[in-house]
Amino acid sequence: MDTFQSIHQDSIIGILTTFDRMIFKGHLTMFYPNGAFARFLNRQSILLKDFKPYVESISQQIKQHAEQLAIQSGRPFRYLESAMTAKKGQSKESLAQQIAVEDNVKEGLICVFSTLEPCSTFTVRGNHASHKLEVVRRQSKCLHYYFYYLDAELGFIHVRLQSWFPFQIQVYVNGRECLARYLDQQGITYERYDNTFTRIDNLEAAHSFCEKFSHFEWPPVLNALANRVNPILNIIQAAGFGSYYWVADQCEIATDIMFKDRATLAAILPDLFEHAIIKTACENVLRFLGRKLHGNFRGEVTTDLKKRPEGWRVKHSIKRNSLKMYDKNSVLRLETTINNPSEFKICQQTEDDKLRWVPMRKGVSNLYRYAEVGLQANQRYLDHLTHAKLKSKAIPFLDGLCRSHTQNGKRFARFNPLQDVDRNLFAAVVSGEFVINGFRNHDLCDKLYSKPPASDKEGKQRCTRMSRLIAKLRGHGLIAKVKNARLYRITKLGSQILFAVLSFYKTDFPTAFQNAL
């Protein structure tokens, strides 16, 4: 059975699957049960009526710590008055990368941003029924601090810390960044476009790293980052309220098919996107993401096509999980994004000490399963693309037929498939009687002229004309000369082009014409 790799084996130089964007979130879960935060305040000898000045002083300590980290590293600390996102023109990430380039930062802290953003916080308010103060959770806004780093192992990362209880923290890591750092350490050369590798000289080493990366022990690394940016964490731990519980809030698992150049990929992209939109039904999307279509399914399956500055993107979504296909330079990327892992299963030991397939949770210990799910979804989608009809591949051949060619300094005129003269020549060349033995000059004469020549002079003129046509056909690669004989046979390329031209004129165009009416 043909695979996508075998169909395009002459164009593909490598395939790589690993994590792309990874967003971890840390939660101080021991604060969340009812009455837990009030107990924490009690252990700090803080009365509920003194809640506001206490948390304001804590928030001030976090701000001073963030400023001190920036000063110690000699890096900028900036307050952003408005939200910076890619949709608004420039994101915080791109600004940090710009600062890193301008200041030639190779490792360590790049910058610290502070900005006002929505959050879930604790507050104290009066209960009208009990006439007492009580701790409640509510949606509010507070300062958040973004610490951007160039880490020796993880590459470009950021840590986002909420400055108000319960100090939720977020860590952004990119798997491609980690791979780039590894390749640099191993001295393996590669070419890179944005966060995509267009070529890696040692793909086996890259695959080995990606396999190990899916089993990486994240909690120690994430805890170290949390301790670096949150000066209040020691106080919380000393009060017996533990440390952060880490979850994978969002993960992207991307399969990159690296083509030898951009032009080769661009030639098949229109057909791949057409197939992805027209030939991909809801049951296909469910199958890609490991689901079956049944009557109890409650959800929406969507597919949309979007034009981006970099190119086109098609996205299939189910219950906050998605599968995307888009191009980046000479790379075709298939990307599974997991926001809702409970839609997938993981084999775990249950309370009755038996192994069962249960809904997957967000714990970072399940990341190896994230990688398996993403790889399987991407591979199913790639198998689906195997059936795409690559019509656009034929266009350059038709264009070539309609353009003049120069070979060994000799120019060969173009053909016009819409003219009877050229079409009759094509029909003569593809005649069934020439398939086995080929044809000679006089064989073409017999096919193109219904009557014998009236004189020797006319016969010579016909022979000379056939010689010119044979040379023209050879110049376009449609026929080839048999060695040591004045005999010619149609080439494989000639057979494809000429049969296609004749079929279009006699069958496809009349059918399309009637359908248009």
CATH number of the domain that residue 457 is part of: 1.10.10.2260
Return the H-helix or E-strand segment holding 175: helix 175-186
**Band (88; pLDDT cuts 50, 70, 90):** low
Which residue type sits at 293?
Answer: L
Which range marks the domain in which residue 194 is found? 1-21+175-214+249-389
Query: Is residue 160 a contact partner of residue 145, using CB atoms and an 8 Å limit?
Result: yes
Residue 67 sits in the same domain as residue 149: yes
> What gap in Å lies between CA 25 and CA 168, rounded to an integer?
7
Q: What are the pLDDT digits (tens) for 13-25?
A: 999 999 999 999 9
User: What pLDDT, in 10s, does the model give residues 276-302?
Assistant: 999 888 888 989 998 887 777 788 899
Point out the domain boundary residue: 350, 366, 389. 389
Do 179 and 313 reside in the same domain of the chain? Answer: yes
152 & 289 share domain: no
Q: Which secondary-structure segment (H or E) carries 159?
A: strand 155-162
What pTM value is reported for the model? Answer: 0.82
Environment class of 309 (CB within 10 Å of its CB; exposed 0-12, middle 13-18, buried 19+): exposed
Residue 78: burial class (beta carbons within 10 Å; 0-12, 13-18, 19+): middle
Say how many domains are in the chain: 3
Three-state SS letters, 203-214: HHHHHHHHHHHC
Annotate 403-431 with DSSP letters as a single string. S-EEETTEEEPPP-TTSHHHHHHHHHHT-
- pLDDT digit string, tens, across residues 252-280: 999 999 999 998 999 899 899 999 999 88
362-383 per-position pLDDT tens digit: 999 999 999 999 999 999 999 9
pLDDT at 2 over 70: yes
Residue 370 is assigned to a structural domain of this protein = yes
Residues 191 and 333 in one domain: yes
Q: What is the pLDDT of residue 87?
A: 67
- Cβ(146)–Cβ(158) under 8 Å? yes
Residue 423 sits in the same domain as residue 308: no
